Chains A and B, each alone.
Chain A
Amino acid sequence: MTSPAQRTISRRNLLLSIPALGLGAAASPRRIRAAQVAVQTFNGPMADAGEVYRPVTLPRKPGAKASMTDAQRDDLEHHIHCQCGCNLDVYTCRTTDFACSVSPAMHSDVMGLVAGGHSAQEILDAFTSVYGERVLMAPVRSGFNLLGYTVPFLALGTGAVVVAALMRRWKRTAVVAPAPTPAIHATEGELAALDAALKQDR
């Protein structure tokens, strides 16, 4: 606990610091910012379908019927990465960035595969064989990728072990301090009220 005497920020200082922060931001070097804006280029979204789109097809299964409902197909498209550079999945890209020509093309491939009777996993495999693993919104849970999924939990477990060891050390070194006998800043009346409260709560 920090006692009031140790605090260095008063109410006045806190209030004064707010406009001071604003002034500080305004005084940052404008020339550098202007230079950056001048050379920045738009990089990424909306590659043309002709550059990045590759057809994904599989032979239609005999007597094929649609392998999933529209809702299931939309859910599947959440797991396929649009290749236009937007960093979105096919479903989100085609339904929000309708200037993109890549996601509709990938969507029509998905619809063709669904109509051909292929399962969700077969469709994902087909896309992976054409585009590589980057077409999946999350890495496949096998091989090296397992590291991606497990390391956060391993790190947390390691942290827990370290914290437990530290706490055990602190516990060993802890000295049970005798109860302080602080100066009492209470009137007789307040003490009597406390006394009564304690008795009532007994």
Chain B
Amino acid sequence: MLRKWNVTLVVSAFLLSIFGTFITRSGIISSVHSFAQSPVGMWFAAFLVVAMVVTAFLVSTRLSDLKSNAQLESMVSREAAFLYNNLVLVGIAFSVLWGTLFPIISEAVRGNKITVGPPFFNTVNIPLGLLLLLLTGIGPLIAWRRASVANLRRQFIVPVSVAITAGVLCFAFGVHNLAALLSYTFGAMVVATLVQEFYKGVGARHKMYGESRLIALPRLIARNRRRYGGYIVHLGIVVVFAAFAGLAFKREFDLTLKAGESKTVTDAWGHQWTFLSQGISRYKSLNREVTAIALDVARDGEPAGVITSEKRQHVDSRGAPTFEPSTEVGIKGSFALDVYVVLAGVRNVEDAEIRVSFNPLVRWVWLGGALMALGGLVVMWPQADRERVQSGYAAVLKPQHVPERVPDLVGV
């Protein structure tokens, strides 16, 4: 199913990555990555054209090999859910492309330069992202081929109940940002869906083979890697969305500290952080002049280590400054939040101006990425070459043993 579409997506992803590099490196759009005075843009443009021509030729000459018997019995089926998910993902990719190119289009049409920054992308992509998250939760709940009302009711009751409970709890505990609230509500639904899927699969193996549930879980994944690897990817997506929604709890403070002075601020989780300045230090290193501040940090009165932040002015062999000064951010990270300290400036020789940011759930972005990579690996990992007619068992039962309703023996 959808072979041509899959190949089109693969080709588009490759060509768009080259196109993105081309428009930034060539200086067509303003970017810190542009090298406008170099010919690199022309190289990318030429490569882009060659890649488009070659891929168009390769795909068009192999179209007959990509024919598939696309059959769909119902618009409420898991096959259809794949399509809906696909549509939203492509929609998100398109909105990023559109937002990136819109300043060029606007300048061409109106002659006005405009900026399309984070507020635009947040306006357009947050609703699409939430829709994607919701579909991630819904897709696995719908039966293959055709879903009945009874099937939908049975599958949805637990995840929807969990989602509503999570939403109410989040609101009660102070999550009033709508996007964050919906993220956690839909995320809870996806997690409940995944737990339900694994629970049913493990339960089916437990019943059929008498395996303990601990043994049944890895075997369940190993026997149907594409399905359960996909579920691990879904879990990674939830973790990443939870991390993004954590931005709603970001707290920032501007502090001015003399040597020996301390100030206390509170993070989004209610913990009090005290920053005690050890003073400003200035020194020359091998290739740079450094202005640094060291801060003794305490969390709820307990020592939490030292954070340093530096301003570095790199110099050439004659001691002349090269480019602009750079800032080394002091970071103290945990799974709850990252504390960022930026030395913003020094006034009156001794007064350090620092910016303290509490960025919640930053590490969850990495964790979500790792889970998605792990899920991808599980999906890709080749099966041992053994004859398998189909996943699970098919059995012909004697008429007297055929039940009126066949229970879901999923992914066994």
Interface residues of A (CB under 8 A from B): 1, 3-5, 7, 9-11, 13-14, 32, 36, 39-46, 74, 78-79, 81, 85-87, 89, 94-99, 132-139, 144-145, 148-149, 151-153, 155-156, 159-160, 163-164, 166-167, 170-171, 173-176, 180-186, 190-191, 193-195, 197-202
Nearest Cβ on chain A to B226's Cβ, whole angstroms: 9
* A96-B342, A152-B91, A167-B72 known; A144+B124 contact, CB < 8 A: no
Chain B residues within an 8 Å CB radius of A39: 35, 37-39
- A197 engages B87 (CB within 8 Å): no
A9-B382, A39-B35, A89-B117 given; 9 more Cβ-contact pairs under 8 Å: A7-B383, A14-B380, A44-B31, A98-B345, A138-B120, A144-B110, A152-B124, A155-B98, A201-B407
Cβ B32 vs Cβ A45 within 8 A: yes
B114 located at the interface, meaning its Cβ lies under 8 Å from any Cβ of chain A in the complex: yes
Give the Cβ gap from B62 to chain A, nearest Cβ, in Å.
15
Nearest CB of chain A from residue B273's CB, rounded to whole Å: 18
Please give, as numbers and ranges, the residues of chain A lying within 8 Å of B389 by CB-CB distance.
Answer: 182-183, 185
Which chain A residues border B390 with CB–CB below 8 Å?
1, 182
In the complex, per-residue mask of B36-64: 1 if CB is within 8 Å of any chain A CB, else 0: 11111001000000000000000000000
Q: Which of B166-174, B282-290, B320-328 contacts A (4 or more CB under 8 A)?
A: B320-328
- The answer to whether B16 has its CB under 8 Å from any CB of chain A is no
Instruction: Choose among B102, B128, B254 the residue with the greatest number of A CB atoms under 10 Å from its CB.
Output: B102
- A202 and B402 CA atoms in complex are apart in Å by 10
B117 / chain A contacts, CB cutoff of 8 Å: 81, 87, 89, 137-138
Contact B342 A95 (CB under 8 A): yes
Instruction: Enumerate chain A residues within 8 angstroms of B204, measured Cβ to Cβ.
Output: 197
Most buried by A among B207, B388, B405: B207
- Do A98 and B70 have beta carbons less than 8 Å apart? no
- Minimum distance in angstroms from B355 CB to a CB of chain A: 5
Verify A14–B397 contact, CB threshold 8 A: no
In the bound complex, residues from chain B placing their C-beta under 8 Å from that of A198 are 397, 401, 403, 406-407
Bin chain B's interface residue count.
35 or more
Nearest residue (CB) in B for A100 is B324
Assess whether A43 is in contact with B401, with CB atoms less than 8 Å apart.
no
CA distance A188 to B397 in the complex (A): 12
Question: With A and B bound together, what is the CA distance between A46 and B124 in angstroms?
Answer: 30
A75 → B minimal CB distance (Å): 11
For B36, B72, B114, B409, which residue has the most chain A Cβ atoms within 10 angstroms? B114
* A152 contact set on B, CB distance < 8 A: 91, 94-95, 98-99, 124, 128
**Interchain nearest-CB distance for A121 vs B (Å):** 15
Complex-state Cα separation, A32 to B106, whole angstroms: 35
The chain A residue sitting closest to B86, CB to CB, is A163
Q: Contacting chain A: which of B73-81, B260-268, B362-370? A: B73-81
Which residue of the partner chain B has the closest CB to A176?
B73
Q: Is the CB of A41 within 8 A of B35?
A: yes
Residue of B115, B207, B355 near A197 (CB, 8 A) is B207
Q: Is B178 an interface residue (CB 8 A)?
A: no
Residues of B with C-beta under 8 A to A191: 395
Verify A133–B394 contact, CB threshold 8 A.
no
A14 to B38, CA, bound (A): 38
Is B65 engaged at the interface, CB distance under 8 Å to the other chain?
Answer: no
A192 to nearest B CB, angstroms? 10
CB of B34, distance to nearest CB on chain A (Å): 5
Interface: B214 (CB within 8 A): no
What distance in Å separates the Cβ of A132 from its nearest Cβ neighbour in chain B? 7
Q: In whole angstroms, how far apart are the Cα atoms of A180 and B386 in the complex? A: 21
Q: Are B106 and A40 in contact (CB under 8 A)?
A: no
- Bound-state Cα–Cα, A9 to B32, Å: 40
CB distance from B250 to the nearest CB of A (A): 12
Asked if B208 is at the interface (CB within 8 A of a chain A CB), the reply is yes
Q: Cβ of A43 and Cβ of B27 under 8 Å apart?
A: yes
Cβ contacts under 8 Å, B382 to chain A: 7, 9-11, 13-14
Given A167-B72, A202-B403, A155 contacting B91 (CB threshold 8 A): yes
Residues of B within 8 A of A167 (CB): 72, 75, 80, 83
Given contacts A79-B119, A152-B124, A152-B128, contact A190 B35 (CB under 8 A): no
Q: Are A144 and B116 in contact (CB under 8 A)?
A: no
- List chain A residues, Cβ under 8 A from B323: 42
B349 part of interface (Cβ distance < 8 Å): no
Chain A residue contacts of B397, Cβ below 8 A: 195, 198
Closest partner residue, chain B, to A89 (CB atom)? B117
Q: Which residues of A contact B32 (CB under 8 A)?
A: 44-45, 86-87
User: Chain A residue with minimal CB distance to B34?
Assistant: A43
